Structure 1
Amino acid sequence: MNIPILLSTAYLPPVQYFSKFLLHSEVWMESQEHFIKQTYRNRCLILAANGPESLIVPVEKGRSLKQNMAELRISYDTNWQHTHWQAIVSAYNSTPFFEILEADFRPFFEQKFEFLFDFNQQLIQTILDILEISPKLFLTKEFETVPEPFLNFREAIHPKRQKALPDSDFEPVAYTQVFDDKFGFTSNLSMIDLLFNCGSASYEMLLKSVGKK
């Protein structure tokens, strides 16, 4: 599509999020909005032994309730990095491609990042590199409520199904998951779920999810 798309930042975002990089030649990341709680901006969803599990990056609380996304600092009051990485290892160490891709992701849970936006962006770029996708990627310079001529997806992709907006351009494609014998196929988890389970076939699964053959 020639229409540029506007996405919020996100922590290890879901498959739907990355499908947008295939559909839109120009992707803009919103860096000037205020932080919104209970969204993918600081959480991801993985499939653990007991079902879907949310991993949430804690952030520092500022004096103002309206904190600029690009200036939002990660909190290290708890050892969340160790907790997140152990959860990821426990969920995916038996997947076919975990050992191959482990080295790409482990450093993010050993090195401390100051800002959530920077942390997210580097993770997103790592996943794009693994997928060998090279979009035209830009950061917003100011916030616009109704940006033109962008397709505005800042709020469309949401961890709460009742808040997510309909997306006719994305149809989840089932793939083998470690715990699908217990839960069946669980769609639209973090992109790492697809990568660890499918490896080099992940790009093809993304293409199928947007109807491209």
Structure 2
Amino acid sequence: MKNTKTLLATSFFAPIQYYCKLVQYPEIFIEQWENYSKQTYRNRCNIYGANGVLPLSIPVVKATSKKILTKDVRISYDTNWQKLHWKGIEAAYKSSPFYEYYIDDFERFFTKKWDNLLEFNKEIQDEILGLLEIEPNIQFTDDFIEFGNSEYDDYRNIIHPKTSKSGIDRTFNQEKYTQVFGDKHGFQENLSILDLIFNLGPDSLSYLESSIVDL
């Protein structure tokens, strides 16, 4: 950690690496003035299903122009993705140790409709933080923060679902934990925070803290 401030993109049921930043940094800024990027954690998460890693993606309303700000991205309900996501989560984690304990906390995100992706992700994040029993200092950016700004440790593009596009993060080191289908497919790294919570429950925060490397 070079700075006390970090920059993150918004994220849908963000990965474990992302939540380590929420634990690690005194000040967290979530970028809302960027041009929206597709095929990122902004509208997707990865869970661990019976056949391996299963991506869940939120469809968004197609922009009328080539570029749209993240803060203006709207969720599409042309398909019943909420039902599909809910069934996918159930199939993936119904046999996990803490599924029954936590699943009701997430049901509203798959029954109620949100119009704005940024607000939807924020509601999810607030719920997760409540379950982890932490209150980090998080705020949205007031304007676009240029890349290379020395005041921030910038993870907006480093935390990415595609290994070929993700950057090096020396402050994150993940140890193995027991996963539902680990015996079948092996340990899967940096999945959605859902995977951690359903498998480790109250020990999730301690796991996040242990995954942070102080440089």
Q: Normalization by structure 1: what TM-score?
A: 0.97
| 1:23 paired residue number | 24
- Distance of 2:182 and 2:131 partners within structure 1: 24
Partners of 2:5 and 2:151 within 8 A in 1: yes
Measure, in 2, the Cα distance between the counterparts of 1:8 and 1:211: 21
1:63 pairs with 2:64: yes
Q: Give the Cα–Cα distance (whole angstroms) in 2 for the partners of residues 150 and 207 of structure 1.
A: 20
Q: Distance in 1 between matches of 2:62 and 2:146?
A: 24
Partner residue of 2:186 out of 181, 184, 187: 184
User: CA–CA distance in 1 between the matches of 2:176 and 2:78?
Assistant: 38
Question: What code does the residue aligned with 1:111 have?
Answer: K
Unaligned runs of 5+ residues in structure 1 are none
Partners of 2:93 and 2:140 in 1: CA distance: 32
Alpha-carbon separation, structure 2, partners of 1:154 and 1:49: 30
The structure 2 residue matched to 1:197, chosen from 188, 199, 210, is 199
User: Where do residues 9-158 of structure 1 align in structure 2 (5 Å cutoff)?
Assistant: 9-146=10-147, 147-158=149-160
Counterpart-to-counterpart distance in 2, 1:85 and 1:58: 15
Shift of 1:208: 1.1
Offset, 1:3: 2.0
Shift of 1:148: 4.3
Unaligned runs of 5+ in 2: none
TM-score (norm 2): 0.96
Match of 1:166 among 160, 165, 168: 168
Q: Deviations over 1:84-133 (max 9, x none)?
A: 01000110011111111011111100000000110011111111111111
Shift of 1:22: 1.8
Distance 2:105 2:150 in 1: 36
Determine the C-alpha separation between the residues in 2 that align with 1:31 and 1:128.
Answer: 20
CA distance, structure 1, for counterparts of residue 212 and residue 82 of structure 2: 33
* One-letter amino acid of the counterpart of residue 65, structure 1: K
Give identity over the alignment, percent: 43
The residue aligned with 2:210 is 208
Distance 1:51 1:23 in 2: 29
The structural deviation recorded for 1:39 is 0.5
Q: Residue 144 of structure 1: CA displacement?
A: 2.4
State whether residues 170 and 213 of structure 2, in contact with CA within 8 Å, keep that contact through their aligned partners in structure 1: no
Structure 1 segments (4+ residues) deviating >6 Å: none
Q: Deviations over 1:139-172 (max 9, x none)?
A: 1011122334111111010000111101010001
Size of the aligned set, in residue pairs, is 212
Task: Tell me the distance in 2 between the aligned counterparts of 1:54 and 1:132.
Answer: 27
Question: How big is the shift at 1:21?
Answer: 1.3
Give the letter for the 1:35 counterpart: Y
